[in-house]
Amino acid sequence: MRKFVKPAVFLLALVPFALLLVRALTDNLGPDPAQELSIETGEWTLRFLLITLALTPLRQLTGQSGFIRHRRMLGLFALFYATVHLLVWMNLILGFRWFAIAEEIVDRPYITVGFTAFLILVVLGITSPKTMVRKMGKNWKRLHRLVYIAAILGVIHLLWILRTDVTEAVLYGFITFVLLGYRILRNLGNKKSATA
């Protein structure tokens, strides 16, 4: 039964992309399809990031470790949706005009923030294979703490884009705050126990 879980998680993670593709092919993305695709793929990036961040606290609170084995794959799906998000922006909004793309990244702070988060995810994706974990040793864990920065930058990026109706961005921000706050409190508790 366990051997079917990983393929099932993989297929479930592809469902949002498949639904967006169907909506695009059936011209069902509203009056501004490029903007809709950009927002949806950006939000799915954040959702997968937060799901990935939630797995360790869930394991610690429940004592169940089965789902933690899917953390790497879910993190890579965050990178996948971030890449689709970037490609939508580069192609449908800026038409792959490279000078304009570079100018936007430099001149618009909300795009600079989003692109920085994307670069972090790329680095984490490249270093996610087990061979890299072995080669990097303790440095791997230090590097992968950047995922917290990526999540914070992602929330800021979304807040900047939505501007008026920021309810969802605030919700993602709250979840990020809870997940990071939990880790900080747990680490402080562990340090106190070690020195007691």
Per-residue tokens: 20: 């967006």
Model confidence band, residue 176 (pLDDT cutoffs 50, 70, 90): very high
Task: Tell me what pLDDT residue 196 has.
Answer: 54
In this structure, are residues 59 and 68 in contact, taking their beta carbons and an 8 Å threshold?
yes
Task: Tell me what pLDDT residue 194 has.
Answer: 62
Q: What is the pLDDT of residues 100-159, one digit of tens each?
A: 999 999 999 999 999 999 999 999 999 999 899 999 988 998 999 999 999 999 999 999
Task: Tell me what pLDDT residue 11 has.
Answer: 95
Task: Tell me what pLDDT residue 126 has.
Answer: 96
Task: Tell me what pLDDT residue 121 has.
Answer: 97
Q: Count the domains in the chain.
A: 1
C-beta atoms surrounding 74 within 10 Å: 20
* Whole-prediction pTM: 0.93
For 146, list phi and psi in degrees, rounded to 5: -65, -15
Task: Tell me what pLDDT residue 3 has.
Answer: 77
Q: What is the pLDDT of residues 144-173, one digit of tens each?
A: 999 999 999 999 999 988 877 888 889 999
Report the alpha-carbon distance of residue 184 to residue 99 in Å, rounded.
Answer: 41
- Where in the sequence is the domain holding 51, given as residue range(s)? 2-195
Please, how many CA atoms are within 13 Å of residue 182, restricted to the half-sphere of its CB? 15
C-beta atoms surrounding 7 within 10 Å: 9
Task: Tell me what pLDDT residue 195 has.
Answer: 62
**What amino acid occupies position 182?**
Y
Assess whether pLDDT exceeds 70 at residue 21.
yes
In this structure, are residues 112 and 106 in contact, taking their beta carbons and an 8 Å threshold?
yes
Between 65 and 186, the more confident residue is 186
For the chain, what is the mean pLDDT? 92
Assess whether pLDDT exceeds 80 at residue 17.
yes
Average pLDDT over residues 66-92: 94
Assess whether pLDDT exceeds 90 at residue 187.
no
